Amino acid sequence: MTSRINPIVLVVLGLALSRSAGAQIQRQDFLIPGGAGRLHVREVRDHRHAKPKNLILLHGGGPGGVPSFDLPVPDYSLAEDFAKRGFRVFVMDVRGWGSSTKPRAMDPPPENSAPLVPTKEAADDIATVVNWVVRRTHEKTALLGWASGGHWACAYASRGPAALTALILLNTLYSVNAPWELRASMQDRNDPEQFDRHAGGYRIVDRSGLLRRWDASIPAADKSRWRDTAVADAYLSQTLATDGTPRRIPPSVRIPIGYQVDAFNLSLGRPLFAARDIRVPVLIVRGELDFWSRSVDVSSLARELVNSPKVETLTIKGGTHYLFLDRPEHGRSQFISEVLNFLM
C-alpha cells in the first residue's frame, strides 16, 4: 500500500499480514498529530470478526507499545491474542516512546532538562489516541494500561471521557504512603522525600538494563524455564530499534523519566488523580511477584473507585511484572482469560 499524508493521519507502513500462518490478522501503522509532533499507533485486527470491540494497549515506562504488546514471536503478541478473540486492537506510544515523536529536550544530554513527559502529557496523548480511534471506528473503546501506563490511564479516565468503556490496570501504583523498594534509587540524597533533582530529563538504557529487573524477578536460575529466549531477544531488538539516534556503544534507548517522578510521588501517597472521578468498570490485576506495584495499591484503589459501576481485583499467583510476556503457565494465559471475561 502506498503511504499517504493528509491533515488527519499519516499511514507509515500500510498493511502487513500476520506472522501466524493461515490467520486473517492484519497490522497497520499510523502516525497521528499529537504529543510532541506525532503519535504512533498500530492497529491489529482479525478480519474474521465482523463487529470487533475496540481495545487500546498502553505501555509503561520501559519499552514502547510494540516491544511490549506485539512481538514477532508466535503466541507472544498480546495484541494478536485479543484480535483473534474479537477485538480491534490499537497499540499506542506516548510521546518520547517507541515510534512517537521524541521531545526536542531528548536531543541534548539528559542533564540539560528536567524530567520529561509527566502524567498530564501522557494523559493528553491517550486522549488524542482515544478520540482518533473513536473517529476511525465509530465505536467507544476499552483501555488497558501496564505499570506507569496504568496510572496514566487512570489520570485520563478521571477526566470523565465519554468514549471510554472500561479500564484494565496491570501492576499499577496508586497513591499510598507505604514502603516501595524502588524509592531509594530515585530519592534526592539531601532530601529523601523528594525525587533526585540531578536525575535529568531522560535515561539511557542498554540491553542489560532492559532485562535486569525482569531477570531478577524470575524465581528460577535458568530464565528460559520461565521466559522463552526468543521473547527476550525480540523484546530487546524491537526496543532498541525504536531510537533512531546516532549509534551508541553499547546499543541503548532513551526513555523519558517523568513517569519515575510520578511513581515516586505516588509511593509516598501524593495523588495524581481522583479515583472517585473514574466512572467506568475497572479491573485491577497484579502479579504476585511484581516489583513495581504493591498489594496495598490494589486494595486502596479498589476501595476508592466509589463511582465505578464495577470493580474487580485479581492477584495472579507467581506472576511477574512482565507476566504477559512470560510462558503461558506463569501468568500469561490466566491474564488473557481474566481480561476477556471482564470485557466480554
* Displacement of CA 139 from its chain's centroid (Å): 22
Residue 131 lies in a domain: yes
Per-residue pLDDT, 9: 45
Residue 235 lies in a domain: yes
Per-residue pLDDT, 244: 72
- pTM, two decimal places: 0.93
Cell of 205: 538504557
Query: Do strands 141-146 and 53-58 pair parallel, antiparallel, or not at all (unpaired)?
Result: parallel
Residue 100's domain comprises: 10-343
The number of folded domains in the chain is 1
The H-or-E segment that residue 148 falls in is: helix 148-157
Residue 5 lies in a domain: no
Cell of 221: 536460575
Question: Which residues lie closer than 8 Å to 175 by C-beta, 6 or more apart?
Answer: 265, 266, 269, 270, 271, 272, 300
Residue 273 lies in a domain: yes
Report the chain (344 residues): mean pLDDT per 10 consecutive residues. Answer: 35 49 80 93 93 96 96 97 97 97 94 97 98 97 98 97 97 97 95 95 95 95 96 96 81 96 98 98 98 98 98 98 98 98 95
Question: Which residues lie closer than 8 Å to 338 by C-beta, 6 or more apart?
Answer: 283, 285, 314
Residue 1 lies in a domain: no
The residue behind cell 473507585 is: 305
CATH of the domain at 197: 3.40.50.1820
324: alpha, beta or left, given left = phi > 0 and alpha = psi -120 to 50?
A: alpha
Residue 225 lies in a domain: yes
Buried b (16+ CB within 10 A) or exposed e, 282-317: bbbbbbebbbbbbeebbebbbebbeebeebeebebe
Neighbours of 75 (CB within 10 A): 13
Q: What is the DSSP letter of 177?
A: B
Residue 2 lies in a domain: no
279-334 tens-digit pLDDT: 999 999 999 999 999 999 999 999 999 999 999 999 999 999 999 999 999 999 99
161-197 tens-digit pLDDT: 999 999 999 999 999 999 999 999 999 999 999 999 9
Asked if residue 281 has a cis previous peptide bond (ω within 30° of 0), the answer is: no
Report the alpha-carbon distance of residue 117 to residue 253 in Å, rounded.
Answer: 16
Report the alpha-carbon distance of residue 273 to residue 264 in Å, rounded.
Answer: 15
Residue 4 lies in a domain: no
Task: Count Cα neighbours of 69 within 13 Å in the Cβ-side half-sphere.
Answer: 29
Say if residues 214 and 324 touch (Cβ distance below 8 Å): no
